[in-house]
Amino acid sequence: MIDGEYQNKTVLVTGGLGFIGSNLVIRLAALGARVTVIDSLVEGCGGNIDNLRTVQESIRIKVADIRDAGCYAAELERPDIIFNLAGEVSHSASMSAPLRDLELNALAQLAFLTTCADCFSGARIVYASTRQVYGVSRVLPVAEDHPIQPVDFNGVHKFAASAYHLLFSNIGRLDAIVLRLTNVYGPRMALNAKAQGFLSVYLRNAVAGKPIEIYGGGKQLRDPVHVSDVVDAFLRAGLAAGTSRVFNVGGPEALEVRQIAKIAAAAGNCEIVWREFDRAEKAIDIGSYRANAGRIARELKWQPRIRFAEGFPSALRSYEHELEFLTGTTAAAIAPAAC
C-alpha cells in the first residue's frame, strides 16, 4: 500500500525534529517524498536537530512556531499531506504548567489549522493525539467510542486539538484524521528531556545502568508500540480514502508494567526498584490500558509488528551507539529519574 505512493509527494511535517516526527521524516525521505519540517525546538518537547542529520541534505527544515504559520505559509509549496506532530506530550508538566500546555497543544493548533484552512484548503492532515484523552479505562480494550474523560490538562488540550481538526473536516475546509497513540518507544526519544513518559525513563536508565523503577505495584497494563509501527500507521492514514476520522494505534500485546520493567532491566543489565506513587502522580495515573485497534486494522490494514521484548533491546542499542547525538551527553552523565 505504501511503496511508491509517496514518491514526489509534497509533505509538511510539524514537530519533525522530535521523536516520532523525525522517524516519520526519515521514512518519508526514503520513500522519495519532498519533505518540509517545521519545528520550534521548544525546550522540553524533545526536538533535536541531530535527529535528522542523516537526511538533512534531502529535506527542508524550518525552525519556526506553528502559531506563526500565517507569516511564512506563502513560502511553502502546497502540501499533498500534512503530518501534524507538534506539541507537548508531558502529562505531569501539564499539571504544573497548564497554561503552557494550553498554548502549545490547543491555541497553537487552532492558529495553525486556521492558516492551513486558508492557505491549503482541503488538504489531508493527520494529527498525533493520545490515548490519555480517554482517562481511566471503563472497559478493556479501549475502542474509539470510549467516553472522553482525561485526567490531566494534557489530555484535555490534546482532545481540544483533535476536536479542532475534526471540526475543520466537518465544515469542509480540511481533510483530517486523528490517531490516538498509546505508549510509543524506540530510537530518537529525547532521553535528556523530563517527563516524556515512563518508557523514555526506562531507556535512559537502561543506557546509564541505573535502576528500573516500578510504580504503583506494577500490575497496570500497557501496550507499548514501536515507533516504526507508528510511522507505518501515519503513512497509511496519510493515504487513506473513505475511512473513519479517528483511529486508535496500539501495540501488539498488553503487558503488565512489571513485565515491561523486567524486559528493560534485562536489556540494560539493571536492577529493579519498587516505588509508590506520590499524591500528584497517583491523581493522573490511568490504571490499565490496552487499545482496541480493530478499526485501523480493518480500514487501513495496519497491524503492529514489533513486540516489546524485541523492540526495547533494539532501541537501547541505537542509543548506546549514538548517545551524544541523541541526548547531548554521555551515558555516565545521565541522572536517574522517577517514572
Strand partners, 63: 39
Burial zone of 99 (CB within 10 Å; 0-12 exposed, 13-18 middle, 19+ buried): exposed
Residue 238 reports pLDDT greater than 50: yes
**What pLDDT was estimated at residue 43?**
80
Cα–Cα distance measured from residue 179 to residue 60, given in angstroms and rounded to the nearest whole number: 25
Cα–Cα distance measured from residue 146 to residue 339, given in angstroms and rounded to the nearest whole number: 26
**Helix pair 198-208, 257-268: axis angle to 10 deg:** 20
Cα–Cα distance measured from residue 144 to residue 237, given in angstroms and rounded to the nearest whole number: 16
**What pLDDT was estimated at residue 162?**
98
Residues 89-124: pLDDT tens digits? Answer: 888 889 999 999 999 999 999 999 999 999 999 999
List the chain domain ranges. 10-185+225-249, 198-222+253-289+306-333
- Mean pLDDT calculated for residue range 21-29: 98
- Residue 25 and residue 57 in contact, taking contact as beta carbons nearer than 8 Å: no
**What pLDDT was estimated at residue 119?**
97
* Element holding 248 (H helix, E strand): strand 246-249
HSE-CB for 316 with a 13 A CA cutoff: 24
Domains 10-185+225-249 and 198-222+253-289+306-333 share a fold: no
Cell of 162: 483533535
**What pLDDT was estimated at residue 178?**
98
**What pLDDT was estimated at residue 32?**
97
- Mean pLDDT calculated for residue range 28-56: 93
**What pLDDT was estimated at residue 1?**
65
Cα–Cα distance measured from residue 191 to residue 265, given in angstroms and rounded to the nearest whole number: 16
CA nearest neighbour of 104 among 157, 62, 61, 68: 157
Residues 280-308: pLDDT tens digits? Answer: 777 778 899 999 999 999 999 999 999 99
Cα–Cα distance measured from residue 319 to residue 326, given in angstroms and rounded to the nearest whole number: 7
Mean pLDDT score across all residues of the chain: 91
Lowest model confidence (mean pLDDT) among 93-107, 116-130, 265-279, 310-324: 310-324
Residue 326 reports pLDDT greater than 60: no
| Band of pLDDT at residue 325, cut at 50, 70 and 90 | very low
Fold of 10-185+225-249: Rossmann fold (3.40.50)
Cell of 339: 517514572
HSE-CB for 207 with a 13 A CA cutoff: 33
Cα–Cα distance measured from residue 16 to residue 231, given in angstroms and rounded to the nearest whole number: 12
**What pLDDT was estimated at residue 156?**
97
**What pLDDT was estimated at residue 321?**
64
- Residue 21 and residue 37 in contact, taking contact as beta carbons nearer than 8 Å: yes
| Band of pLDDT at residue 328, cut at 50, 70 and 90 | very low
HSE-CB for 167 with a 13 A CA cutoff: 10
Percent of the chain with pLDDT over 90: 81
Residue 236 reports pLDDT greater than 90: yes
The CATH superfamily holding the domain 198-222+253-289+306-333 is: UDP-galactose 4-epimerase, domain 1 (3.90.25.10)
- Mean pLDDT calculated for residue range 323-335: 42
Q: Is 271 left (phi over 0), alpha (psi -120 to 50) or beta?
A: beta
- Mean pLDDT calculated for residue range 166-187: 97
